[in-house]
C-alpha cells in the first residue's frame, strides 16, 4: 500500500501503485486523498471518433507545461475482449510527453462500463488532484451519445467536432452536445469550419466555440483561455 505522504509529495511510483489499487476497486485511500483534493483544473475531452481528441490533448499538455503546470491525463479506452485491458496505449498516442516528469498519463479500460468513462475515473481524478497535479485531462473513448458521464467528473467539458460534421450535429445533439461548455472545432483549416462555428453559435449561443488546428498547435492558447473562463 503506497503511503499518503509519498503520494502527496508527488512520488511517481506511489501514485502509480495507488492508481492501480483504485482501478481495481480499492477505495481505502480515498477519504484521506479527498481532504487534499479540489484544486486541479479538470478538463473533459469528448466527441465523435476521428475528431482528433488525442492530438488536442497533446497540445493542451504542451501549453500547460509551458506554463510550468503539472498535468495528469486519464485516457479512457475501449476494453479488449481478450485481456480486459485498454486497446489503445497512452504511450502510443501521447509520445510527445512520455518522458516528461511533470506529466503522468494513465490509460484505463472501460471494462464494459457505458457512458464513455471507466467506473473509477472520478476516483483517479481525486488521486491526481491530491498528488499536486495542476490539471487533470480526461479523454473519453469517442463512442457518441453515451459519453455524457464525463460531465459529472470534469469541471469543464470540451466537445471536439470537425468541419463536415455539421450534418451529424443534430444526430448527436441528444447526447454529448448538451454537456459541452466549450466546442473545439478541430481541423479548422478545412472547408466548412466557419459554417460549423456559425451553426454551433446559433444552436448554443451561451457556449464558447473555438477553432483549432491541433496538428499544428493553432488555436490552443485560445482554447485553454476558454476552458479557464468556464472553470
As averages over each run of 10 residues, the pLDDT of the chain (231 residues) reads 95 96 92 97 90 92 97 75 40 61 84 55 95 95 62 91 70 69 95 90 90 96 98 93
Residue 210 lies in a domain: no
- Domain with 172, as residue range(s), is 4-160+168-177
Residue 114 lies in a domain: yes
Residue 27 lies in a domain: yes
Residue 198 lies in a domain: no
Q: What is the pLDDT of residue 175?
A: 63
Domain CATH for 12: 3.40.50.300
Residue 11 lies in a domain: yes
Residue 207 lies in a domain: no
Q: For 77-119, what is each residue's pLDDT tens digit?
A: 654 333 333 434 443 445 566 678 899 999 876 544 444 456 6
Q: What is the pLDDT of residue 145?
A: 43
Residue 122 lies in a domain: yes
The Cα–Cα gap between 204 and 81 comes to 38
The C-alpha cell that represents 42 in the structure block: 479538470
The C-alpha cell that represents 14 in the structure block: 506511489
3-state secondary structure 83-141: CCCECCCHHHHCHHHCCCCCEEEEEEECCCCCCCCCCCHHHHHHHHHHCCCCEEEEECC
Task: Provide the domain count of the chain.
Answer: 1
Q: What is the pLDDT of residue 39?
A: 96
The Cα–Cα gap between 21 and 208 comes to 37
| Cβ contact 115:51 at 8 Å | no
Q: What is the pTM of this model?
A: 0.88
The Cα–Cα gap between 89 and 18 comes to 20
Residue 206 lies in a domain: no
Amino acid at each position: 500500500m503506497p503511503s499518503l505522504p509519498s503520494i502527496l509529495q508527488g512520488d511517481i511510483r506511489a501514485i502509480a501503485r495507488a492508481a492501480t489499487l483504485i482501478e481495481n476497486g480499492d477505495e481505502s485511500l480515498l477519504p484521506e486523498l479527498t481532504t487534499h483534493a479540489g484544486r486541479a483544473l479538470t478538463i473533459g475531452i469528448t466527441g465523435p471518433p476521428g475528431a482528433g481528441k488525442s492530438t488536442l490533448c497533446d497540445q493542451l499538455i504542451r501549453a500547460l507545461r509551458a506554463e510550468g503546470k503539472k498535468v495528469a491525463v486519464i485516457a479512457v479506452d475501449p476494453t479488449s475482449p481478450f485481456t480486459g485491458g485498454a486497446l489503445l496505449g497512452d504511450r502510443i498516442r501521447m509520445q510527445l510527453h512520455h518522458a516528461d516528469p511533470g506529466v503522468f498519463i494513465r490509460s484505463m479500460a472501460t471494462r464494459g462500463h457505458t457512458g464513455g468513462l471507466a467506473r473509477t475515473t472520478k476516483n483517479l481524478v481525486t488521486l491526481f488532484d491530491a498528488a499536486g497535479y495542476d490539471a487533470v485531462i480526461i479523454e473519453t473513448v469517442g463512442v457518441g451519445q453515451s459519453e455524457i458521464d464525463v460531465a459529472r467528473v470534469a469541471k469543464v467539458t470540451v466537445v471536439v467536432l470537425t468541419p463536415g460534421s455539421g450534418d451529424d450535429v443534430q444526430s448527436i445533439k441528444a447526447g454529448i452536445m448538451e454537456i459541452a461548455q466549450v466546442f473545439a472545432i478541430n481541423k479548422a483549416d478545412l472547408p466548412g469550419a466557419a459554417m460549423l462555428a456559425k451553426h454551433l453559435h446559433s444552436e448554443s449561443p451561451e457556449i464558447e466555440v473555438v477553432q483549432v488546428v491541433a496538428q499544428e498547435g493553432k488555436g490552443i492558447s485560445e482554447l485553454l483561455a476558454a476552458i479557464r473562463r468556464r472553470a
